[in-house]
Amino acid sequence: MDDALLANRELWDAWTKIHVGSAFYDLASFRNGERAIRLADYELDEIGNVEGKSLLHLQCHFGLDTLSWARLGATVTGVDFSPEGIATATALAAELHIPATFVEANLYDLPNELDGQFDVVYTSRGVLGWLADIVGWATTVAHFVKPAGFFYVTEIHPVAQVFENEGVTAGELRLSYPYWSHPAPLRFEVHGSYADPTAPTEGLVEHGWDHSLGEIVSALIDAGLRIDFLHEFDFVEWPVDFLVESPDGRWRLPAGTPGQLPLFFSLKATKPLAGA
Ligand SMILES: C[S@@+](CC[C@H](N)C(=O)[O-])C[C@H]1O[C@@H](n2cnc3c(N)ncnc32)[C@H](O)[C@@H]1O
């Protein structure tokens, strides 16, 4: 792993410790079943019934979404490069008696570390910005999709990533960051986490990459997948400084903003059967 990846892994190990106790992840309600399924309405609709299906969750953090799919009947495997995330997910699965396999691996190394193919390959919310190489990502994704199986991703829209998100007011769209892929990562000192902005994170650094929507879609097509749909949404699933929180807990442009922006997306892509 290079320095940027090692620093990101250190950050995710630290964030995992913070996140397990955060109101954002609300582990208590996941444990006691009040919020047994921690998945978004649109992804449940768009992915459909997973009962009896094998599901690979890439970048699974400490496993709440992975275990949600297991509670819905999927046979799940979660992967993440954070030892802390994988240890927490494994312990949680055992504690809650939910069958699940968790694998610690850098996404790009996964084809050498995990066998098999899956009916569903899934990844969601805050994943692509940690990845340097979107073509390598799509190759890994396609490698693990069974013929006739599908890949699903839901993520912040690359257009939403070009605006400054710190020290701006609601509705202030200050164009600041690249839209297309760039080889060198953007580097930021970390102040707290998206789940707990006040958490102590001194000395931690984040390295991030951008990828345009066209690059993401084209990489998946080039890797052999067929796009079933690409849906764009007017909200972000977590706090963003230039947006305001709506009553449904999602973050949107302030009421009265002239014009519109895509802020989140979901995409489903199928692997064709050989010869199809
Ligand atoms: C925001 S989380 C996404 C998880 C999920 N949306 C959630 O909220 O639980 C991003 C995850 O990507 C993982 N990650 C970042 N870079 C990675 C890499 N190169 N290989 C594998 N996992 C990686 C981090 O450890 C983190 O758990």
Residue 211 CA to ligand 1 centre (angstroms): 16
Which pLDDT does position 274 carry in this prediction?
A: 82
Q: Is 67 in the pocket of ligand 1 (CB under 6 A)?
A: no
Q: Is 78 in the pocket of ligand 1 (CB under 6 A)?
A: no
Architecture, CATH, for domain 3-270: 3-Layer(aba) Sandwich (3.40)
Closest residue by CA, ligand 1 atom 12:
59
Q: Is 14 in the pocket of ligand 1 (CB under 6 A)?
A: no
What is the token pair recorded at 10? 């250190």
Mean pLDDT, the chain, rounded, equals 97
Residue 169 CA to ligand 1 centre (angstroms): 28
Query: Closest Cα partner for 123 from 52, 43, 237, 210?
Result: 43
Residue 215 to residue 221: CA distance in whole angstroms: 10
Which pLDDT does position 276 carry in this prediction?
A: 72
Which pLDDT does position 205 carry in this prediction?
A: 98
What sign does the dihedral 28-32-37-41 (CA atoms) show?
negative
Question: What residues of the chain score a pLDDT lower than 50?
Answer: none
Q: Is 80 in the pocket of ligand 1 (CB under 6 A)?
A: yes
Closest residue by CA, ligand 1 atom 6:
125
**Do 146 and 116 contact (CB within 8 A), yes or no?**
no
CB atoms within 10 A of CB 10: 15
Residue 206 CA to ligand 1 centre (angstroms): 13
Residue 203 CA to ligand 1 centre (angstroms): 20
Q: Is 86 in the pocket of ligand 1 (CB under 6 A)?
A: no
CB atoms within 10 A of CB 107: 20
Residue 60 CA to ligand 1 centre (angstroms): 6
154: Cβ contacts below 8 Å, ≥ 6 apart = 40, 42, 43, 124, 125, 264, 265, 266, 267
Which pLDDT does position 28 carry in this prediction?
A: 97
Closest residue by CA, ligand 1 atom 9:
61
Residue 276 CA to ligand 1 centre (angstroms): 34
Ligand 1: atom nearest CA of 9 is 25
Q: Is 59 in the pocket of ligand 1 (CB under 6 A)?
A: yes
Which pLDDT does position 166 carry in this prediction?
A: 87
Ligand 1: atom nearest CA of 16 is 27
Q: Is 154 in the pocket of ligand 1 (CB under 6 A)?
A: no
Which pLDDT does position 232 carry in this prediction?
A: 98
